[in-house]
Structure 1
Amino acid sequence: MARLREFAGRFRPAGVPGAAAPAAVPADRRACREAELEPVFAALAKTARTCSDLREQAEKDARELKRQAGERCEAILADARSRTAAERADALAVAQGRVLAEHKALLDEARRTAHDIGERARSRLPHLVERALDRIRALGAEP
């Protein structure tokens, strides 16, 4: 670390204004600054290496996490694809069951309606036959 005298020396002018004085050599300010900051930069070099190592480790960890996530994603997709056929078959069975139930209900309703129509026809048939016979007899009685 620079002493107070060296620190203050940086602010000394190289020469006094006015006539030229005997040849005096100005202080090498750049060398003084470099010497003063060298320990700071040396301490920062260790920190910079630590940061670089941490960044490399973080990138490595990120690549590993990304790889693991990709594997999990592939496993989930493979499981979903394998279950697709079974899910479709189940959905088809449910849909077919509904269609068959609706078909059976319609068929039962049609049978009941046909039975009701048959019953009404059977109950009306004797009356209609009697009317038809009456008309035929009436035709035969006419001159």
Structure 2
Amino acid sequence: MARLREFAGRFRPAGVPGAAAPAGVPADLRAGREAELEPVFAALAETVRTCSDLREQAAEDARATGRRTREQCESILADARSRAAAERAGALASARGRRLTENQALLDEARRTAQEVRERARTRLPYLVEQVLDRIRGLGARP
């Protein structure tokens, strides 16, 4: 829809301001503007095509960068997963080694304690046997 200014502009005088002149034909500004701007738009057509080509190239570059980035991320994740598995296996082996060492130390301590008990029993055994025998003999002396 035409604006009020454009509509009113059609009826402006065709002549020079001053004394009254006969009424002229309304000016067609739109046709004049289009004719005046047509060479400018024709000159810009190549620039518009260049911009469109640049946008398409940029979009393709962005897609390629996205693909490369996804591939790189997948590679990093795969490497991290394999290293994590190796680290877990190493930590498990280390923990098992420490546990075996601790268990061996406990076993050695238990063996030393058992040897000490045997030695004490060996030294006390004759005395204890003598006491048992005395009690048995004492049982026989009673009526």
Q: TM-score, structure 1 length as denominator?
A: 0.67
What's the counterpart of residue 107 of structure 1?
107
Residue 59 of structure 1, CA deviation: 1.0
Alignment of 1:1-143 (within 5 A): 13=12, 24-80=24-80, 83=83, 86-143=86-143
Deviation at 1:86, TM superposition (A): 4.3
Structure 2 unaligned regions, length at least 5:
1-8, 15-20
Partner amino acid for 1:64?
A
Bigger shift: 127-136 or 37-46?
37-46
Give the number of equivalent residue pairs: 129
For residues 83-104 of structure 1, the C-alpha deviation after alignment (integer angstroms, 9 at most, x for no partner) is: 5664454344223312322221
How far apart in 2 are the matches of 1:47 and 1:93?
68
Indicate the larger mover: 93-102 or 107-116: 93-102
Alpha-carbon offset, residue 65 of structure 1: 1.1
State the structure with bigger RCO (CA 8 A, min sep 6), 1 or 2: 1
Residue 17 of structure 2 is matched in structure 1 by: none
Q: CA RMSD in A?
A: 3.1
Q: 1:28, CA displacement in angstroms?
A: 1.0
Percentage identity across paired residues of the two chains? 70
Runs of 4+ in 1 over 6 A off after TM superposition: none
Structure 1 portions without partners, runs of 5+: 1-9, 16-20
Alpha-carbon distance in 2 for matches of 1:94, 1:28: 93
Q: Scaled by the length of structure 2, what TM-score is found?
A: 0.67
